Amino acid sequence: MKESIMTVSSLNTKIKSLLEATFMHISVEGEIASVTYHQASGHVYFSIKDEKSSIKCVMFRSNAQKLKFRLEKGEHITVEGSVGVYTPRGEYQFYAVHIEPFGRGALVLAYEQLKAKLKQKGYFDKERKKVIPKSIRKIVLVTAKESAALHDMLKIIEKRWPLVSVTIVDTLVQGERAAEEIARALAYADTLGADVIVTGRGGGSAEDLWAFNEECVADALYRLKSPVVSAVGHEVDIVISDFVADLRAPTPSAAIEMVLPDKQELLYTLDEHIDRFGERVGQILFHKAHAVKQKEDELRRFSIEIQLSQLLDNFSALAQRYKSVMGYKLEQFRVLSQPLVNGFLQQIDFVLEQKSRQKGALEQQYLSNNPRKRAKEGWAKVSVGGKSVSLDLLEPKTVFVVEDANTTIEAVCRKKSKF
C-alpha cells in the first residue's frame, strides 16, 4: 500500500493542532535574551533563554498595555501563556498573556524598614522634589565608568541630543564600599553646575543593587541642590534612591530618554510645523492672490485706460451716429438748397459778367491815362523829390525831374510864366 503524502500546509496545520492542544495555559521562566517594542502595533516581541536553549515570544497589545514594567534584556522573568504555530512559515512561538519578575532577593525586610524611616523623615515628600529642566545643557552621570549602563547612556545621549555637555563621575555601584563612594560622588557632582544629575547602574540581583538602598546614599540625594534622577536596574527594581530622587527612571537608558529631547522627534515636529506653516502660508497666499486678482479686475474695470477706452468707444459710436445724421441732414439740405444754389450761381455769373465789363472799362481808362501811353502825344511827368507835381507849383531855381516812357531829365526852373 502506497504511503499517503502530506502537503506542507497540512503538516504545519497538524503540528499547530498538536502543539496548541498540548501546551495551553503554561508558565515558563527564563532570562530575556532580546526585546523589541513595536511602536506602530503596540505589540512586544522578545525571546527568553536558559543555559541550553531559547524560545521566541510575543505579547499582543491588549496584554502588553497591562504590563507594569518595561521588559529589558537580561531580566529574569516568568511568562504565562500558550504555544502557537504561525502556519505560513512553520514557526512556533510562545504567546504571552502575563509576565512577572522572577524572584526578589533576601533583603526585603531591611529595605522596608529603611523605607519607612526615611518616609517619616520627609525624604519622599513631593513638595521638596525639584523640577527637571526641559532644556538640558549639562548633564552629570554618577556611575561606574566601565559599566554597560554608562555605555548605554552615552550611546543614547549621542543618538538623542549630542549637543549636551556630559561629565562622568566614576564610582563603585556595588560592594561594601559602594554606598559611601556613591554618596561622595553625588556631593561632588552637585558642585559642577549641572542642569541634572543621573545616578544609577544596570540590572542585577537585590544584593548587587543594595548600595542604592543605603541610608548614606539617601542622605546625599536629599541634600543635593541640583535636580537628580535615580536610574537603578530594570523596571521591576525599586530602590530607596528612587523615592528620594526628584525623578525615577526604570533604567539608565530610560533616564536619558526622559530628561533629554529626541532630536529626531524635534526634527519631525519641526517638519510638521514647517509643513503646517507652508500650508498656512500657501492658504494665505492663495487667498491674497485671489484678493489681488479681484482688485486687479476691479482696477481694470475702473481704471483710467478702461474708462478712456469706453469713452472713446462711446465717442466713436456718437461720431458715427453724428456722421450718419449729418450726412442725412446735409443730403436733405442739399436737395432743399439746390434751387437756391442754382440761383446764387446765376447771380454770381451775372455779377462776374458786370464786374468783367467794369474791369475792361477801367483798363481802358487806365491805359488812356497812363503817362507812358500819353508820352507819344508830347506829355511827360514832372516830379520833385520823388513826388509828382504840377507845373504851376514849380518856382524858379527849383530842381525837378521830367520823364516820359523812355527818358528821364533832371532840370532847373529858370523862369515861370502862367497862361
Q: What is the pLDDT of residues 53-69, one digit of tens each?
A: 999 999 999 999 877 56
Strongest mean pLDDT among 228-232, 258-262, 324-328, 365-369 = 228-232
In a domain, 314, yes or no: no
Based on the domain organization, do 177 and 255 belong to the same domain? Answer: yes
Give 213-276 as a DSSP string.
GSHHHHHHHHH-SS-EEEEESSTT---HHHHHSSEEESSHHHHHHHHS--HHHHHHHHHHHHHH
The span from the CA of 356 to the CA of 220, in Å, is 146
* Res. 376: pLDDT tops 80: no
Note down the domain range covering 274. Answer: 265-304
Residue 105: its pLDDT value, please? 36
Based on the domain organization, do 33 and 118 belong to the same domain? Answer: no
Q: Check residue 71 and report its DSSP letter.
A: -
Based on the domain organization, do 122 and 202 belong to the same domain? Answer: yes
Looking at 31-35, 74-78, 141-145, 236-240, which range is the least confident one?
74-78
In a domain, 70, yes or no: yes
- In 213-360, the DSSP E strands lie at 228-232, 247-249
Residue 246: its pLDDT value, please? 96
| Beta carbons of 48 and 75 less than 8 angstroms apart | no
Based on the domain organization, do 144 and 286 belong to the same domain? Answer: no
Residues 215-235 pLDDT 10s: 999 999 999 999 999 999 998
- Higher pLDDT: 384 or 118? It is 118
Backbone angles phi, psi at 82, to 5 degrees: -145, 160
- The stretch 197-222 carries a mean pLDDT of 92
| Beta carbons of 82 and 24 less than 8 angstroms apart | yes
pLDDT level of residue 368 (50, 70, 90 thresholds): low
Based on the domain organization, do 159 and 45 belong to the same domain? Answer: no
In a domain, 334, yes or no: no
Based on the domain organization, do 78 and 177 belong to the same domain? Answer: no
The span from the CA of 54 to the CA of 47, in Å, is 7
Residue 403: its pLDDT value, please? 85
| C-alpha to C-alpha distances, 280 to 68, 268, 291, nearest whole angstrom | 42, 18, 16
Based on the domain organization, do 129 and 222 belong to the same domain? Answer: yes
* Res. 418: pLDDT tops 80: no
Based on the domain organization, do 36 and 91 belong to the same domain? Answer: yes
- Higher pLDDT: 294 or 68? It is 294
- The stretch 410-417 carries a mean pLDDT of 85
- In 227-366, the DSSP E strands lie at 228-232, 247-249
The span from the CA of 221 to the CA of 229, in Å, is 10
In a domain, 384, yes or no: yes
Residues 247-283 pLDDT 10s: 999 999 999 999 998 888 888 888 888 988 988 998 9
Based on the domain organization, do 123 and 154 belong to the same domain? Answer: yes
In a domain, 318, yes or no: no
In a domain, 313, yes or no: no
Which of 244, 277, 304 is the C-terminal boundary of a domain?
Answer: 304
* Res. 245: pLDDT tops 60: yes
Which of 101, 136, 155 is the C-terminal boundary of a domain?
Answer: 101
- Distance between terminal CA atoms of the chain? 194
Cα–chain center distance at 414:
124
Q: Where are the alpha helices (DSSP H) in 303-407?
A: 304-369, 371-374
Residue 3: its pLDDT value, please? 61
In a domain, 156, yes or no: yes
pTM: 0.45
When the pLDDT of each residue in the chain is averaged and rounded to a whole number, the result is: 86
Q: Check residue 65 and report its DSSP letter.
A: T
Based on the domain organization, do 241 and 269 belong to the same domain? Answer: no
Task: List residues bridging with 28 in a β-sheet.
Answer: 79
- Higher pLDDT: 282 or 394? It is 282
Based on the domain organization, do 132 and 60 belong to the same domain? Answer: no
* DSSP-derived pairing of the beta strands 247-249 and 381-384: unpaired
Based on the domain organization, do 62 and 206 belong to the same domain? Answer: no
**Total domain count, the chain:** 4
Residues 140-197 pLDDT 10s: 999 999 999 999 999 999 999 999 999 999 999 998 899 999 999 999 999 999 999 9
**Grid cell in block for residue 410:** 533832371
In a domain, 322, yes or no: no
CATH code, domain carrying 205: 3.40.50.2300
Residue 62: its pLDDT value, please? 92
CATH code, domain carrying 13: 2.40.50.140
Residue 1: its pLDDT value, please? 45
Residue 225: its pLDDT value, please? 96
Which of 277, 304, 331 is the C-terminal boundary of a domain?
Answer: 304
